[in-house]
Chains A and B, each alone.
Chain A
Amino acid sequence: MIGAARSVLRRGFEWIERPFDALFGPALNPVAQLGALGFFFFWIVAVSGVYLFIFFDTGIERAYASVEHLTSYHWFHAGAMRSLHRYASDLMVVMVVVHLLREFAYGHYRGVRWFSWLTGLPIIWLLYASGITGYWLVWDKLAQYVAITSSELLDWLPIFGEPIARNFISTGTLTSRFFTLMVFMHVAVPLFLLFIMWVHILRISRPKVNPPRMLAAMSLVALLGVSLWKPALSQGHVDLAKAPAEVGLDWFFLPLYPLTDIWGKGAVWAFLGAFSLMIGLMPWLPPLRRAKPAEVDLAHCNGCARCAEDCPYEAIRMVPRSDGMPFPVQAQVNSSLCVACGICVGACPSSTPFRRSEELRTGIDLPDYSLRELRERVVACAATLTGSSRVLVLACERGAGAARATGTVVMPCVAMAPPSLIDFILSRNLADGVMVSGCPENACYNRLGVAWSEQRFAGVRDPHLRARVARSRLATIWASKFETKRLEREITSFRAGLAQLPPLKRNPLTASMISIAATADRRTPEEVGG
């Protein structure tokens, strides 16, 4: 059931993201910058909040008057800040909710990612607590509604001796000290929220906490425009002798409040508890079977740190050398963080399939899918290719090429393939062209696989694809598993382009390679065929 929901959501996101990709380009697509935009809106809320605090008076009678004063008489700066403060908070809720749904849709919450997923849960609670305490401070009719409903919800829990809600149903029971407490809460809770946001990204390598400047600038200008077009206004002074019967509700922060009237408070708490429990358990439902983590072979590791640099999970760190070799450091894998994506294998300068040794070894390798096995699969798969424009597809197991039946070698992530593998395929005439098929650019399962592959091919990231490799014989496609038709179209078009090129110079395989090619029995079903 979880898988079906994920699949439907994923299709939905891809349906939304493709037009956004077309308009914004992968780098600026806001749907792929949800976490970074969440941080961005937090900072807008923080700065505007500090500014508003200059004008805010915490007295019970003066709170409303001070907010009205800044909204009416200082609309062009403080009033605009109030609107920025409010709408940026709402946008942060939108970013958090859509971010959660997207990470769920793309399966970015299981395995080693449990930590970020789980620490996202208190972020939701704290974000809502921050917003609700903020609405309280305005002390208008909406604040009265929020105060009564929130305290009724809290009173349902058997914690307080005297119902808190009694403070808000008759005059003379509330003091200015209460507002001082609420201001403290409205400052302390967001500070704690920021701390948890930091914890949330602790285990992420190169977290995106700032959106691209162009996107940030457009968002800020648009937010300012919306703030001037529809300024945030109060809804009339609190009158405790009257019920706040009708209010303009903020549906981003307060969607559950009407449910307290429809379902009852117990049911709302049950819903919140069930939601939190479900979110908390999801990374382990069902338990994930993990591949064996990468292993370092010190005899082939020179401590260059490229693997540690490229690992998206911060699972590799450099430690002092332990084998007496004349290098200061060596790679060390934290097996609890490694997902066996193989990106480190592709980053290692020792990962070259040109090696003629009987046992192909590299500095860091996957026990379940070694570089040697990858070379064997490539050689075996190439032997099945026929025709004049032979295309060998190196495919990510989560992208469009994963289910392809022929001429395809599948791996955990395309960045597992070292650039020298492409050089090897073309220089040994194993194929006329290589198509690298990975996840969509903004939805790489291993976050950085697509980016690292592109940078290696472009020669801006080590290890580079050698200049001698004809770029016309290499094509990339970043497409999801739902875009198989697009992949086939791209392959057909690539083949047509290859047909225009002169034939490859033939460099025969060495004897050891030929013997490897003969081991066709090791091929997986996907690789068999022409």
Chain B
Amino acid sequence: MKIRPAVRRRSIRDRRDPLLTALTGLMLLYTLLPLAWLVINASKTQEGLMDSFGLWFAGDFALFENIATTFTYDGGVFTRWLLNTLLYVVLGAGGATLLAALGGYGLAKFDFPGKKAVFAIVIGAVAVPGTALAVPTFLMFSQLGLTNTPLAIIIPSLVSPFGLYLMWTFAADAVPREVLESARVDGAREFQTFFRIALPLLAPGTVTVLLFNVVATWNNYFLPLIMLKDPAWYPLTLGLDAWNKQAGTAGGEAVFHLVITGSLLTIVPLIAAFLLLQRYWQSGLTAGSVKE
């Protein structure tokens, strides 16, 4: 990817505007304030949470204590949830990205019977509320013996219609026909061509789709809620929700401070991934939006 805007930016660098920056800063305040709240409150004890101002630190700074408690509470189940989430993300989001890359490439570069129907069906099916399909899906998976296993989470995560769409638009531009033609002339088989030639060219788009899939899988809540009964297979979102609900049961311990600290720990890896991979997904997105 050439980064064309860089050229433009040089010519207007001197026009930076404090007023516009301040106005856009309001938006920044809006998006960051809740995150600041989360960080601040993760530093409070259960008691501190109850009697201190929400947007400032309480007397005792208990962040590290809270983190330690989060990881050890209830036999260290948080670590288990974290590992589960990683498993679902690696297999689910990874697999979804591969399927989307294959499918997007296929849609962009081949003409085949039923091609037009494919996207119509995909978009149409996405419109049906997933929540309401949960029971039929559950009953089906149950017949297949998949409920309460990691597969019940991973298999549905393998489908990312939006990822398919992105890869389609991306592959249309990123992989020139001439390159494919010459590979075919050389007698390369289609899958060889895909993995050796197309996939490297698709890298920025793939990273973008991968990140979106990672977010979707990492944040998955409803599907695990239906499919899993054993907390040993919970992902983080469901585990945090269970901790939050724990306050509402007879004999249950209120652990709002752990819910907040756990929430913070849940989003930190994602935010880190986004920051580290910024360069890739931003160019991927740019390329993806070329063609509409």
A binds B: no
